Structure 1
Amino acid sequence: MAIDQNEFWDENYYNHPSLTEDMLSAAETILNVKLPKLLIDLLRIQNGGYTKGFAFPMAEKTTWAPNHVPLTNLFGIVADKSIETAQNILATPYMIKEWGLPEKQVLLTGDGPWWITLDYRNSDVPTVRWIDVDCGEDIHVADSFDDFINGLLPVISFIEK
């Protein structure tokens, strides 16, 4: 991993509880997927929230930017419905219906109309996609979650000087 896992996270603004085995098992059952090990490892350090501010370089332009997509936060797994959060991968089934997203996605970040997702449409091992429903974008980002995380750069790298 290019980024030190212990230097990945910033604020847990929504105060997500620590990830437990029961929460992980429930999430994989609800979403009907096996989540990538590296995602689970990151969520064990902090169960979602704001990152230190990263972006993934893109060869293809998106509605976000001509050369990158953002990862300023990463959704956690929050099964407790009394915790109000905008950063919960368990909102995926609702958001798929609400926004007309492709099936077999797990939302990693975004807030409509765009998301970065784990895409399970073609395999049990997901690729990473950029989806912007308003603009009809469904763009390949990385072959795996590991490739995505390993390819992250500080977002400041993309700020024009």
Structure 2
Amino acid sequence: MNSKDGNRKNEFWDSNYYNHPDLTDEMVEMAEKELGLKLPSLLIEFLKVQNGGYTKGFAYPMKQRTTWAEDHVPLSELFGIVTEKSFKTAQNILATHYMTKEWGLPEKQVLLAGDGHWWITLDYRKGNIPSVR
């Protein structure tokens, strides 16, 4: 990791509580195949600094009131990419298909953070370039 990556990690990332493995290009390819879409390169670069985990505690702005606050939801974690099926973690974007069914969410989204009552997602419903919802 170069010093620029180290600075990014110190400013954003906190604990890798579940001890996710370092993200590899092979893991990204496997995830994209399983999800059936191309993940944004900026997200991949970010997850190569730390492959998901808890953040230093941020908020994601919202245009409408949420059950959490007037204008935001917490961004206290960001899911990583864990391709090993036996690895136990609550912070894996590859749980998207399961969680989509479990919570009755719209298809063509990738879950980045949330707890079931709210989600931050990459929304691919309008095409191959996602918006963040």
- Shared topology, TM-score over 0.5? yes
Asked if residue 63 in structure 1 is aligned to residue 67 in structure 2, the reply is: yes
- 2: CA distance, partners of 1:81 / 1:107: 18
Where does residue 156 of structure 1 map in the other structure? Answer: none
> Deviation at 1:59?
3.3
Aligned-residue identity in percent? 68
> Deviation at 1:57?
2.7
Q: TM-score, normalised by structure 1?
A: 0.75
| 3-state SS of paired residue (1:56) | strand
- 1: CA distance, partners of 2:66 / 2:115: 16
| 3-state SS of paired residue (1:90) | helix
Query: Which blocks of at least 5 consecutive residues in structure 2 are unaligned?
Result: 1-6
- Structure with more relative contact order (C-alpha pairs < 8 Å, separation 6 or more): 1
> Deviation at 1:24?
0.3
- 1: CA distance, partners of 2:106 / 2:34: 17
Where does residue 17 of structure 2 map in the other structure? Answer: 13
> Deviation at 1:37?
1.5
Q: TM-score, normalised by structure 2?
A: 0.90
- 2: CA distance, partners of 1:101 / 1:58: 18
> Deviation at 1:115?
1.0
CA RMSD of aligned residues (A): 1.2
Asked if residue 28 in structure 1 is aligned to residue 32 in structure 2, the reply is: yes
Provide, for residues 61-88 of structure 1, a one-character-per-residue CA deviation record: whole Å limited to 9, x for no partner: 1122102121110000001122110000
